Amino acid sequence: MLKKLILGVGLLSGSVIGAGVFALPYVIYRAGWVIGAIYIITFTVLVTVSHIMYAQVVEITPGDHRLVGFSKIYLGKFSEWTATLVSPIGLLLTLTAYLVLGEKFLLLFMPANYGGTAFLIIWLLGTLVIFWETGKLALAEVLGTLSIAAIIFVIFGYGLSNWSGLAATPAINPQYIFLPYGAMLFAMWGRTAIPPLVRYFRDDNKLNLIKPAIILGVIVPVVLYALFIVGAIELTAPHITGSSISGLAAALPQGIVWSVGVLGILAILTSYAVIGKNIHQTIIFDVKQKPYIGASVVAVVPLLLYILGFKDFLYLVNIIGGVFLSIEGILMTVLWIKARRGVESWNKLYGFAVYLLLVIFTGGIIYSLVYR
């Protein structure tokens, strides 16, 4: 049973741990360490509860579905089309964010004025690996997760030698109090891993392990993120950047910079492949389009978005988390309300959690669209 639980935790943690971690040191440094700690605790609970609720929807619904399918079953056409649009658009923006970050990693080996060339190289490599066999992509996701984890431990280890950065971090900066919202949600969201996680435990009749696997599967990335945040702020404050990479490059020995660059590029390409495959399958199976159309969208749209000016990693992360993942959060919450109706009666705790989630997600969308 313990082995089963550990593998389940790894499945979710591997989906959560990703490029979003590189945006966290900047937003927490700007908002202040007290605000950052509150966000980390709050979002750990928020994401855990949301994912448990979604898992319950998956568990009690016959068949194999994704968010679009569940929306069609429980919420009707409008929500189905909302999910159909939100999921691939958000993921396409995510691909663009990964390309922008990959460009920064590649520039650790190239002159700074070769930015366009670096981007094209990363885009070409990422597009090619999207169409690997699914079995190879599963291995790639493991390698990508291990690469991110290795970078985190390297940065934390070097950060321990310098305690001036964290000491200079403000406790509370009211001007940036809402800044971490989108980046934090982007970094911690693992919704796509929930259906396979439920199937994994259902096959062995171990459904009682779903909740502990989700709880631990969220906590493990949070612990790693906290180590990276501390290490990155220690090394780069007050010159910390939106993606952390350029500041870290200036603070680390050249050999370590190159090692981080290699690991970063590996992590970007493997994650890019997994996300791209997800979009490709969504367009084929949910939007009901031909495979070549899905392939064209996955290959071309991220490049076009970059050309159109979507080149700021932090901006992309905040929009993805603040708008698209918040909409997903609302859909998941409403799905739970509909799916659980008649299964069990609500108590006050359930009601409070549901409405708090809806308020937070709605507030995040308003802030991201209106006040940013």
Domain segments of the chain as ranges: 2-371
**CB distance 272 to 129 below 8 Å:** yes
Q: What is the pLDDT of residue 64?
A: 79
Q: Residue 290 in 3-state DSSP?
A: coil
Domain 2-371, CATH class in plain words:
mainly alpha
* pLDDT tens digit sequence for 311-368: 999 999 999 999 999 999 999 999 998 987 755 555 666 677 888 999 999 999 999 9
Identify the weakest region by mean pLDDT among 93-107, 154-168, 210-224, 238-252: 154-168
pLDDT category of residue 309 using cuts at 50, 70 and 90: very high
CA–CA separation, 161 and 179 (whole Å): 28
pLDDT category of residue 174 using cuts at 50, 70 and 90: very high
pLDDT category of residue 163 using cuts at 50, 70 and 90: low
* Closest alpha carbon to 196 in 64, 286, 87: 64
**CB distance 229 to 25 below 8 Å:** yes
* Average pLDDT of the residues of the chain: 89
Instruction: Give the global pTM.
Output: 0.93
Q: What is the pLDDT of residue 346?
A: 55
HSE at residue 211, side-chain half, CA atoms within 13 A, is: 5
Decide which of 65 and 309 is more confident: 309
Q: What is the pLDDT of residue 173?
A: 95
**C-alpha distance from residue 239 to each of 15, 169, 234, 249 (Å):** 30, 12, 11, 12
* Closest alpha carbon to 33 in 251, 185, 233, 243: 233
Phi, psi of 210 (to 5 degrees): -65, -50
Q: How many CB atoms lie within 10 A of CB 247?
A: 21
Token output for 210: 């779903």
Of the chain, the percentage scoring pLDDT greater than 90 comes to 58
Phi, psi of 43 (to 5 degrees): -75, -25
Token output for 138: 């599963």
